[in-house]
Amino acid sequence: MRFDDLPLGDDVKRALRLQGYDTLYPPQESALPHAISGKNIVLAVPTASGKSLVAYIAILNSVLNGGKAIYIVPLRALASEKFEDLRRFEDLGVRVGMSIGDYDADDPTLERFDVVVATSEKIDSLLRHRTSWLEKVSVVIADEIHLINDPDRGPTLEVTLTKFRMANPKAQIIALSATINNSDEIADWLQAENITSDWRPVPLREGVYLDGEIFFSDNSKRKVKDLGDPIVSLVDDCLANDGQVLIFVNTRRASESLASSLRSVTRRYIGTNKELREISKSVSTDDEEPTSIGKKLSECIKSGVAFHNAGLSNDQRRRVEDLFRAGKIKVIVATPTLAAGINLPARMVIIREATRFDSDYGHSAIPVLEIKQMCGRAGRPRYDDYGEAVFISKDEDHRSFLLENYLLADPENVYSKLGTEPALRSHALAAIATGNVRSEEGMFRFLEHSFLARQTDIDFLHDTLQRILAFLEDNEMIKFDRDGSLRATFFGKRVSDLYLDPASAVTMRKALVAFRKDAGFGILHALAATVDLKPLYMRRSDYDWVEEILEEKRTEMLLEPPSDLNQYEFYLAEVKTASLIQDWIEERTEEDIERKFGIGPGDIRSKMEVAEWMAYSMDQLSAIFKEEAHETLQPLVRRINKGVKPELLELTKIRNIGRVRARVLFNNGFKSIADLRNASVDRLAALPTIGRALAAQVKKQLGQEQEAKTVEQSVSGQKTLREF
């Protein structure tokens, strides 16, 4: 069947043709009639089978008839991919936006868009603010819905969909899923058509490598030139046939060291590549501040290989993905964060280990579902005609083990994780604060609409819920009225609006009550002690210096060390994390921080993002509990955002002037915006890290602040993208 045969407007058909879509894939043929007629669907079909396009067509169909759509994704990287795809339909008059940022805002910019790509946390937060835009939504796409199974992120996705269905029952829901055993349960929950298939547009063979041979799950075999090391042999085999390779390993360090050791292989396939050398140089110099991970990455890229892990900044990660997409680098060695949903031109996926280290469970097996997601990155339409996904095995027993337990095994069922106390605590408060729920009874009625209730009898939640309500009441976030009905206090409403875990708010309140003006480090520690900001791990080598800091800052602490010795280690981890925030806002170099804490720029950014949110929230709560803390907290929020001492806050207001450049300006006597106005472009251009282009740009910004602002607003859609 062709796209032309679908009951769609001519302009939509033309747009699809222009993008090279002609015939429908069989799963699309089954799904699209339902999707176009407005029915809810669950599409649980293999990787690469074109699920997104079903979603896009449903969106266009609805939006061009006056509706609004949201596309919920689990990861920022995936959000960019979907955002870019959807923007290709802008000629039809569809305005596409992406919303990932701000805590505590009801985001008036949404009004400008017809389609918004966002994470489930963002949508949940918007629902708490009862954003009127959401009431107009006519289609909700839930991509990678099997992640409902994820203990961290799953409950939010589940609650978001639950609330949506209650608040806006007419909205069409399209859930996209990996192949799972119990998609019928999800479909039943969403009152949706369950569409399954095992058809894949590009054949993908999955196998295990041993001694120069890949044994595939379809019983076929293929010889590979044995060059000694299994990974080197496979990479060489694929590159020699003009393919590209994606390798999954289970730790960041392994991703870096393996990428580095593969340089000698990839180098042979890129020739004397001047362009790559240029790109590699820019990778290490584009950032304002050189980092050691950036240098390592640049070294790898020069030879046509890269690593991809959470230690890289968002920019660096996107860079790696783009270079791989453009065929400029041949191999990526990644941690499994890259697995879900992404389209990359990998002919071969190599999975080095089937286990990973988990801080809660130690070494544990990676679920089949996740392995299948990794395998599914190979052989993507428009890039390759076939794909191969290969495990590395040690011996024959291991080979059979991997074949049976992963490649021939069925993926696990997906289970709701909403029934745990931390998940329920936040969502229960939110349900009360938004007025959705007014009694314990009501809470059960609300939960009855969840996937959890579809899977089990939720009576078992009585005790947990009672404990949670008592906790919220004791901490004055909710109140029982005389007639027994529940409502949120002002404090409770703020906690819900700020998207805080109520337990974090309790920590902040305690710190605020104890607040003193001289409690500098104590405030940073309070931020680090919230459950939302997960503390850094204590390495053995950390104990001495962290305890020293604690000793030194003892009088500044707002939250005392625990009397329970078992808890002491957690306290130290919080102190360590506080000291990371301190180093950041005291302008220690990123390179120093990386070395001292054993983390990468990506970790610094992600921790500081949460720390800023915590500081902002604590500042907001200071209006209730300790007004005088506002004076300290308000500048702290911006200092964390920029990573600077107070004296640089003014300069860092200028675009492209970050912590490093602002310091250079300041130390050269340009201490304020007024100083910069008086300086000549030549004088500024001569400063290290500034240069002519930037100096001119800064001048322009200052001379035409008003216009600069309008330009900024008009590109804010793109700006959000860049912030990824």
Contact 294, 315 (CB under 8 A): no
Indicate which single residue of 12, 32, 41, 47 sits in contact with ligand ATP (rule: CB under 6 A).
47
Strands 221-223 and 213-216, how do they pair? antiparallel
Indicate which single residue of 12, 31, 50, 344 sits in contact with ligand ATP (rule: CB under 6 A).
50
The strand pairing partners of 221, in sequence order, are: 215
Looking at the Cβ atoms of 57 and 123, the one nearer to ligand ATP is: 57
CB of 637 to ligand ATP, least distance (A): 37
CB of 177 to Mg ion, least distance (A): 9
Question: Whole-angstrom Cα distance, residue 259 to residue 323?
Answer: 15
CB of 25 to ligand ATP, least distance (A): 5
Size, binding site for ligand ATP by CB under 6 A: 18
Amino acid at 390: V
CB of 111 to ligand ATP, least distance (A): 28
Between 31 and 70, how does the x/- string for binding to Mg ion read (CB under 5 A)?
--------------------x-------------------
CB of 217 to ligand ATP, least distance (A): 19
Contact 505, 449 (CB under 8 A): no
Strands 213-216 and 204-210, how do they pair? antiparallel
Residue 49 interacting with ligand ATP (CB under 6 A)? yes
CB of 176 to ligand ATP, least distance (A): 6
Looking at the Cβ atoms of 2 and 722, the one nearer to ligand ATP is: 2
The strand pairing partners of 99, in sequence order, are: 118
Looking at the Cβ atoms of 178 and 214, the one nearer to ligand ATP is: 178
What separation, in Å, do the N-terminal and C-terminal C-alpha atoms of the chain show? 38
* Length of the chain, in residues: 724
6 binds, among ligand ATP, Mg ion, none (CB under 5 to 8 A by kind): none
Residues from 153 through 212 that contact ligand ATP (CB under 6 A): 178
Residue 24 interacting with ligand ATP (CB under 6 A)? yes
The strand pairing partners of 512, in sequence order, are: none
At which residue do the structure tokens 């107070």 appear? 646
Looking at the Cβ atoms of 92 and 105, the one nearer to ligand ATP is: 92
Paired tokens of 268: 């042979």
CB of 61 to ligand ATP, least distance (A): 16
Work out the angle at residue 537's Cα, subtended by the Cα atoms of residues 535 and 543, and round it to the nearest 5 degrees: 110
Residue nearest to ligand ATP (CB): 50
50 binds, among Mg ion, ligand ATP, none (CB under 5 to 8 A by kind): ligand ATP
Residue 376 interacting with Mg ion (CB under 5 A)? no
CB of 173 to ligand ATP, least distance (A): 17
Window contacting ligand ATP (CB under 6 A); options: 18-26, 98-106, 448-456, 642-650 = 18-26
173 binds, among Mg ion, ligand ATP, none (CB under 5 to 8 A by kind): none
Size, binding site for Mg ion by CB under 5 A: 2
Measured between alpha carbons, how far is residue 573 from residues 428, 530, 568 in Å?
29, 12, 9
Window contacting ligand ATP (CB under 6 A); options: 41-49, 394-402, 492-500, 513-521 = 41-49
Residues from 518 through 577 that contact ligand ATP (CB under 6 A): none
At which residue do the structure tokens 């939509």 appear? 12
Looking at the Cβ atoms of 342 and 580, the one nearer to Mg ion is: 342
Burial 293-330 (b: 16+ CB within 10 A, else e): bbebbbbbbbbbbbbbbebbbbbbbbbbbebbeeebbb
Window contacting ligand ATP (CB under 6 A); options: 45-53, 224-232, 296-304, 320-328 = 45-53
Amino acid at 703: G
Between 226 and 245, how does the x/- string for binding to ligand ATP read (CB under 6 A)?
--------------------
Contact 605, 583 (CB under 8 A): no
Contact 298, 323 (CB under 8 A): no
Helix (H, G, I), strand (E, B) or coil at 465: helix
Look up residue 411 and give its DSSP letter: P
Residue 30 interacting with ligand ATP (CB under 6 A)? no
CB of 81 to Mg ion, least distance (A): 9
Window contacting ligand ATP (CB under 6 A); options: 50-58, 156-164, 328-336, 522-530 = 50-58
Residues from 320 through 349 that contact Mg ion (CB under 5 A): 341
Amino acid at 635: P
Paired tokens of 485: 């009905």
- Greatest alpha-carbon pair distance for the chain in Å reads 80
305 binds, among ligand ATP, Mg ion, none (CB under 5 to 8 A by kind): none
Helix (H, G, I), strand (E, B) or coil at 483: coil
Looking at the Cβ atoms of 174 and 684, the one nearer to ligand ATP is: 174
Cα torsion angle, 74, 77, 78, 83, sign: positive
Residue 138: half-sphere exposure toward Cβ, Cα within 13 Å: 17
Helix (H, G, I), strand (E, B) or coil at 482: coil
451 binds, among ligand ATP, Mg ion, none (CB under 5 to 8 A by kind): none
The per-type count for the chain, helices as H runs and strands as E runs, is: 34, 19
Question: Whole-angstrom Cα distance, residue 528 to residue 606?
Answer: 13
Looking at the Cβ atoms of 177 and 250, the one nearer to ligand ATP is: 177
Paired tokens of 203: 């054949």
Residue 341 interacting with ligand ATP (CB under 6 A)? yes
Q: Which helix (H) or strand (E) holds 48?
A: none
Window contacting ligand ATP (CB under 6 A); options: 51-59, 237-245, 424-432, 532-540 = 51-59
Residues from 373 through 402 that contact ligand ATP (CB under 6 A): 376, 380-382
Within 49-185, strands assigned E span 68-73, 96-99, 115-119, 137-142, 172-177
CB of 82 to Mg ion, least distance (A): 9
CB of 67 to ligand ATP, least distance (A): 21
CB of 52 to Mg ion, least distance (A): 5
Contact 195, 45 (CB under 8 A): yes
53 binds, among Mg ion, ligand ATP, none (CB under 5 to 8 A by kind): ligand ATP
Indicate which single residue of 15, 21, 503, 626 sits in contact with ligand ATP (rule: CB under 6 A).
21
Question: Whole-angstrom Cα distance, residue 642 to residue 660?
Answer: 10
Indicate which single residue of 6, 32, 41, 48 sits in contact with ligand ATP (rule: CB under 6 A).
48
Window contacting ligand ATP (CB under 6 A); options: 19-27, 222-230, 494-502, 587-595 = 19-27
Residue 97: half-sphere exposure toward Cβ, Cα within 13 Å: 20
207 binds, among Mg ion, ligand ATP, none (CB under 5 to 8 A by kind): none
Looking at the Cβ atoms of 88 and 671, the one nearer to ligand ATP is: 88
Question: Whole-angstrom Cα distance, residue 154 to residue 143?
Answer: 12
24 binds, among ligand ATP, Mg ion, none (CB under 5 to 8 A by kind): ligand ATP
Residue 53 interacting with ligand ATP (CB under 6 A)? yes
Amino acid at 89: F
Looking at the Cβ atoms of 54 and 546, the one nearer to ligand ATP is: 54
Q: How far is CA 254 from the centre of its chain?
A: 21
The strand pairing partners of 177, in sequence order, are: 44
Q: What is the arrangement of strands in the sheet containing 137-142, beginning at the earlier edge strand?
A: 96-99, 115-119, 68-73, 137-142, 172-177, 41-44, 193-196
Window contacting ligand ATP (CB under 6 A); options: 48-56, 128-136, 160-168, 589-597 = 48-56
Q: How far is CA 444 from the centre of its chain?
A: 31
Looking at the Cβ atoms of 51 and 296, the one nearer to Mg ion is: 51
The strand pairing partners of 97, in sequence order, are: 116
Contact 429, 496 (CB under 8 A): yes
Positions that interact with Mg ion (CB under 5 A): 51, 341
Interface ranges with ligand ATP (CB under 6 A): 21, 24-25, 28, 47-53, 178, 341, 343, 376, 380-382
